[in-house]
Chain A
Amino acid sequence: MNEDAKVVVIPCSGIGKAIGRVTRTAAYKVIEENPTTARTLCLALLTVGDEGAGKLVSDAPCIAIDGCPNQCSAKNILASKGKLLAEVMVTDVLRRNKGLRPQGVIELNEDGQKLASLVAREVAEKMNGTVK
Protein backbone atom coordinates (compact mmCIF):
# COMPACT_ATOMS: atom_id res chain seq x y z
CA MET A 1 0.00 0.00 0.00
CA ASN A 2 1.17 3.50 -0.85
CA GLU A 3 2.45 5.38 2.24
CA ASP A 4 -0.10 8.14 1.63
CA ALA A 5 -3.00 5.67 1.64
CA LYS A 6 -2.21 4.14 5.02
CA VAL A 7 -4.21 5.01 8.11
CA VAL A 8 -2.23 7.56 10.11
CA VAL A 9 -2.21 6.63 13.80
CA ILE A 10 -1.21 9.63 15.88
CA PRO A 11 -0.70 9.34 19.64
CA CYS A 12 -0.56 12.38 21.90
CA SER A 13 2.63 11.02 23.53
CA GLY A 14 1.79 13.13 26.59
CA ILE A 15 5.02 13.55 28.51
CA GLY A 16 3.57 14.18 31.94
CA LYS A 17 1.96 10.83 32.74
CA ALA A 18 2.26 7.11 32.06
CA ILE A 19 -0.96 7.15 30.03
CA GLY A 20 0.77 9.48 27.60
CA ARG A 21 3.46 6.87 27.10
CA VAL A 22 0.71 4.25 26.72
CA THR A 23 -0.66 6.16 23.69
CA ARG A 24 2.76 6.10 22.08
CA THR A 25 3.45 2.42 22.74
CA ALA A 26 -0.04 1.53 21.52
CA ALA A 27 0.59 3.37 18.25
CA TYR A 28 3.84 1.47 17.71
CA LYS A 29 2.08 -1.83 18.41
CA VAL A 30 -0.59 -1.03 15.78
CA ILE A 31 2.06 -0.16 13.20
CA GLU A 32 4.14 -3.23 14.01
CA GLU A 33 1.10 -5.48 13.64
CA ASN A 34 -0.27 -3.70 10.54
CA PRO A 35 2.84 -2.50 8.67
CA THR A 36 1.14 -2.39 5.28
CA THR A 37 -1.93 -0.42 6.36
CA ALA A 38 -0.85 1.82 9.25
CA ARG A 39 1.79 4.45 9.83
CA THR A 40 2.40 7.28 12.27
CA LEU A 41 3.33 10.94 12.00
CA CYS A 42 5.05 13.31 14.40
CA LEU A 43 2.26 15.20 16.14
CA ALA A 44 4.67 18.11 16.69
CA LEU A 45 4.82 18.60 12.91
CA LEU A 46 1.09 19.34 12.93
CA THR A 47 1.53 21.73 15.84
CA VAL A 48 4.04 23.79 13.83
CA GLY A 49 1.83 23.71 10.72
CA ASP A 50 4.18 21.66 8.54
CA GLU A 51 2.81 21.62 4.99
CA GLY A 52 3.63 17.98 4.21
CA ALA A 53 2.16 16.77 7.49
CA GLY A 54 -0.99 18.81 6.89
CA LYS A 55 -1.40 17.32 3.43
CA LEU A 56 -0.93 13.79 4.76
CA VAL A 57 -3.64 14.11 7.43
CA SER A 58 -6.07 15.75 5.03
CA ASP A 59 -5.54 13.02 2.40
CA ALA A 60 -5.44 9.91 4.60
CA PRO A 61 -7.78 8.74 7.36
CA CYS A 62 -6.37 9.43 10.83
CA ILE A 63 -6.91 7.81 14.21
CA ALA A 64 -6.01 9.83 17.29
CA ILE A 65 -4.90 8.14 20.51
CA ASP A 66 -5.29 10.54 23.40
CA GLY A 67 -4.27 10.12 27.01
CA CYS A 68 -6.31 12.83 28.68
CA PRO A 69 -9.32 15.10 28.12
CA ASN A 70 -7.11 17.77 26.54
CA GLN A 71 -7.35 15.61 23.39
CA CYS A 72 -4.14 17.03 21.95
CA SER A 73 -3.94 14.55 19.10
CA ALA A 74 -7.55 14.85 17.92
CA LYS A 75 -7.53 18.64 18.25
CA ASN A 76 -4.26 19.07 16.35
CA ILE A 77 -5.51 16.78 13.55
CA LEU A 78 -8.73 18.77 13.26
CA ALA A 79 -6.85 22.09 13.43
CA SER A 80 -4.81 20.85 10.43
CA LYS A 81 -8.07 20.04 8.58
CA GLY A 82 -7.29 16.35 8.89
CA LYS A 83 -9.66 13.46 8.28
CA LEU A 84 -10.28 12.23 11.83
CA LEU A 85 -11.69 8.74 11.41
CA ALA A 86 -11.78 7.93 15.13
CA GLU A 87 -10.32 8.79 18.50
CA VAL A 88 -9.38 6.28 21.17
CA MET A 89 -9.14 7.65 24.72
CA VAL A 90 -6.79 5.68 26.98
CA THR A 91 -8.78 6.75 30.05
CA ASP A 92 -11.90 5.08 28.60
CA VAL A 93 -10.02 1.81 28.05
CA LEU A 94 -8.54 2.06 31.55
CA ARG A 95 -12.03 2.58 33.03
CA ARG A 96 -13.08 -0.74 31.51
CA ASN A 97 -9.94 -2.42 32.90
CA LYS A 98 -9.81 -1.02 36.40
CA GLY A 99 -7.28 -3.53 37.73
CA LEU A 100 -4.48 -2.07 35.61
CA ARG A 101 -2.02 0.37 37.19
CA PRO A 102 0.11 1.80 34.38
CA GLN A 103 3.29 3.47 35.57
CA GLY A 104 6.44 4.91 34.04
CA VAL A 105 7.11 7.37 31.24
CA ILE A 106 10.75 6.52 30.56
CA GLU A 107 9.70 2.88 30.49
CA LEU A 108 6.20 1.48 30.95
CA ASN A 109 5.60 -1.17 33.59
CA GLU A 110 3.85 -4.46 32.76
CA ASP A 111 0.37 -3.02 33.35
CA GLY A 112 1.25 -0.12 31.06
CA GLN A 113 2.25 -2.57 28.33
CA LYS A 114 -1.00 -4.53 28.82
CA LEU A 115 -3.03 -1.33 28.60
CA ALA A 116 -1.14 -0.32 25.44
CA SER A 117 -2.03 -3.70 23.89
CA LEU A 118 -5.73 -3.18 24.71
CA VAL A 119 -5.64 0.33 23.24
CA ALA A 120 -3.85 -1.00 20.14
CA ARG A 121 -6.58 -3.63 19.70
CA GLU A 122 -9.26 -0.91 19.77
CA VAL A 123 -7.37 1.15 17.21
CA ALA A 124 -7.01 -1.92 14.96
CA GLU A 125 -10.76 -2.61 15.23
CA LYS A 126 -11.52 0.94 14.13
CA MET A 127 -9.09 0.56 11.23
CA ASN A 128 -10.59 -2.72 10.08
CA GLY A 129 -13.80 -1.14 8.91
CA THR A 130 -12.00 1.23 6.58
CA VAL A 131 -8.90 -0.50 5.28
CA LYS A 132 -9.13 -3.42 2.87
Chain B
Amino acid sequence: MKLALPTREVGIISCSGEEIPGGTIALVATRLVLEKLRPDKTVTLCLPLFLAGDKNERDFAKVFPTITVDGCEKRCAQIATSNLSGKPAYSIVVTDVAKRHPEVVLKSRDRLTEAEMKIAEEVAEEVAAKVDEILKKRSTGRGEKLLE
Protein backbone atom coordinates (compact mmCIF):
# COMPACT_ATOMS: atom_id res chain seq x y z
CA MET B 1 0.00 0.00 0.00
CA LYS B 2 1.24 3.47 -0.81
CA LEU B 3 0.59 6.31 1.60
CA ALA B 4 0.57 9.87 0.32
CA LEU B 5 2.54 12.12 2.63
CA PRO B 6 1.38 15.60 3.65
CA THR B 7 1.76 18.13 0.89
CA ARG B 8 0.36 21.21 2.60
CA GLU B 9 3.41 22.11 4.67
CA VAL B 10 7.11 22.64 4.13
CA GLY B 11 9.68 22.07 6.89
CA ILE B 12 12.13 24.92 7.46
CA ILE B 13 15.35 24.01 9.25
CA SER B 14 17.71 26.72 10.50
CA CYS B 15 21.30 26.13 11.57
CA SER B 16 20.86 28.84 14.26
CA GLY B 17 24.65 28.87 14.66
CA GLU B 18 25.51 30.52 17.95
CA GLU B 19 29.04 31.63 17.10
CA ILE B 20 28.21 33.75 14.09
CA PRO B 21 25.84 36.62 13.24
CA GLY B 22 24.62 34.64 10.24
CA GLY B 23 23.29 31.97 12.61
CA THR B 24 21.08 34.50 14.37
CA ILE B 25 19.91 35.86 11.02
CA ALA B 26 19.08 32.29 9.92
CA LEU B 27 17.05 31.79 13.10
CA VAL B 28 15.19 35.10 12.77
CA ALA B 29 14.52 34.58 9.04
CA THR B 30 13.08 31.14 9.74
CA ARG B 31 10.80 32.50 12.45
CA LEU B 32 9.65 35.31 10.15
CA VAL B 33 8.51 32.68 7.63
CA LEU B 34 6.83 30.57 10.33
CA GLU B 35 5.13 33.44 12.17
CA LYS B 36 4.44 36.07 9.55
CA LEU B 37 4.99 35.10 5.92
CA ARG B 38 3.66 31.51 5.63
CA PRO B 39 2.30 30.52 9.06
CA ASP B 40 -0.16 27.93 7.71
CA LYS B 41 2.23 26.37 5.25
CA THR B 42 5.39 25.82 7.28
CA VAL B 43 6.67 23.83 10.25
CA THR B 44 10.09 23.58 11.84
CA LEU B 45 12.30 21.27 13.85
CA CYS B 46 15.30 22.04 16.05
CA LEU B 47 18.35 20.92 14.06
CA PRO B 48 20.17 19.21 16.98
CA LEU B 49 17.11 16.98 17.45
CA PHE B 50 18.34 14.95 14.49
CA LEU B 51 20.90 13.53 16.94
CA ALA B 52 19.14 14.03 20.27
CA GLY B 53 15.70 12.93 19.14
CA ASP B 54 14.21 9.67 17.98
CA LYS B 55 13.05 8.15 14.68
CA ASN B 56 10.13 10.60 14.40
CA GLU B 57 12.54 13.51 14.31
CA ARG B 58 14.87 11.79 11.88
CA ASP B 59 11.92 11.09 9.56
CA PHE B 60 11.16 14.82 9.37
CA ALA B 61 12.60 15.33 5.88
CA LYS B 62 10.91 12.15 4.68
CA VAL B 63 7.53 13.52 5.75
CA PHE B 64 7.99 17.16 4.79
CA PRO B 65 9.82 18.69 1.85
CA THR B 66 12.46 20.81 3.57
CA ILE B 67 14.23 24.09 3.10
CA THR B 68 17.45 24.61 5.04
CA VAL B 69 18.61 28.06 6.16
CA ASP B 70 22.32 28.27 6.94
CA GLY B 71 24.29 31.12 8.44
CA CYS B 72 27.59 30.36 6.74
CA GLU B 73 29.30 28.31 4.07
CA LYS B 74 29.74 25.36 6.42
CA ARG B 75 26.08 24.61 5.65
CA CYS B 76 25.43 22.61 8.84
CA ALA B 77 21.64 22.60 8.40
CA GLN B 78 21.90 21.35 4.83
CA ILE B 79 24.47 18.67 5.71
CA ALA B 80 22.71 17.48 8.88
CA THR B 81 19.35 17.30 7.12
CA SER B 82 20.84 15.41 4.17
CA ASN B 83 22.84 12.98 6.29
CA LEU B 84 20.41 12.36 9.13
CA SER B 85 16.94 12.84 7.65
CA GLY B 86 16.61 13.39 3.89
CA LYS B 87 17.75 15.62 1.05
CA PRO B 88 16.41 19.19 1.34
CA ALA B 89 14.30 20.55 -1.50
CA TYR B 90 16.13 23.88 -1.32
CA SER B 91 18.99 25.40 0.64
CA ILE B 92 19.86 29.02 1.27
CA VAL B 93 22.94 30.55 2.93
CA VAL B 94 22.69 33.90 4.74
CA THR B 95 26.18 35.02 3.74
CA ASP B 96 25.26 34.58 0.04
CA VAL B 97 22.33 36.94 0.50
CA ALA B 98 24.49 39.34 2.54
CA LYS B 99 26.97 39.55 -0.36
CA ARG B 100 24.30 41.53 -2.24
CA HIS B 101 24.71 44.19 0.45
CA PRO B 102 28.47 44.73 0.82
CA GLU B 103 27.81 47.89 2.84
CA VAL B 104 26.37 45.80 5.68
CA VAL B 105 28.83 44.26 8.14
CA LEU B 106 27.27 41.32 9.99
CA LYS B 107 28.34 41.63 13.62
CA SER B 108 25.41 41.06 16.01
CA ARG B 109 24.89 37.68 17.61
CA ASP B 110 21.96 38.51 19.89
CA ARG B 111 19.94 41.57 18.87
CA LEU B 112 20.11 42.32 15.15
CA THR B 113 20.72 45.81 13.85
CA GLU B 114 18.20 47.36 11.46
CA ALA B 115 20.42 46.51 8.46
CA GLU B 116 20.88 42.92 9.65
CA MET B 117 17.13 42.60 10.18
CA LYS B 118 16.60 43.71 6.57
CA ILE B 119 18.86 40.87 5.43
CA ALA B 120 16.85 38.45 7.61
CA GLU B 121 13.68 39.73 5.93
CA GLU B 122 15.22 39.23 2.48
CA VAL B 123 16.22 35.67 3.36
CA ALA B 124 12.71 35.05 4.70
CA GLU B 125 11.08 36.40 1.52
CA GLU B 126 13.24 34.09 -0.59
CA VAL B 127 12.35 31.10 1.58
CA ALA B 128 8.63 31.98 1.43
CA ALA B 129 8.76 32.14 -2.37
CA LYS B 130 10.38 28.69 -2.44
CA VAL B 131 7.67 27.37 -0.10
CA ASP B 132 5.04 28.48 -2.61
CA GLU B 133 6.98 26.94 -5.48
CA ILE B 134 7.38 23.59 -3.71
CA LEU B 135 3.73 23.41 -2.69
CA LYS B 136 2.59 24.37 -6.19
CA LYS B 137 4.66 21.56 -7.68
CA ARG B 138 3.22 19.15 -5.14
CA SER B 139 -0.37 20.20 -5.74
CA THR B 140 0.05 19.54 -9.44
CA GLY B 141 1.48 16.12 -8.66
CA ARG B 142 5.04 16.91 -9.71
CA GLY B 143 7.58 15.96 -7.11
CA GLU B 144 5.07 14.39 -4.72
CA LYS B 145 6.69 11.91 -2.41
CA LEU B 146 5.12 8.53 -1.86
CA LEU B 147 6.02 6.24 1.00
CA GLU B 148 5.92 2.53 0.36
Contact = CB atoms under 8 A, between A and B. Distances in A.
Contacts of B74: 45, 48, 50
A43 B14 CA distance: 12
A13 B16 contact: yes
Residue among B15, B47, B74, B109 with most chain A CB within 10 A: B47
A106 B18 contact: no
Interface string A3-47: 000000011111110001000110110000000000011111111
B30 to A, nearest CB: 6
B27 A13 contact: yes
A32 B30 CA distance: 26
Contacts, number: 100
Contact of A75 (B30, B47, B51, B83): B51
Interface residues of B, number: 34
A93 interface: no
Nearest to B75: A48
B60 to A, nearest CB: 13
A19 B5 CA distance: 31
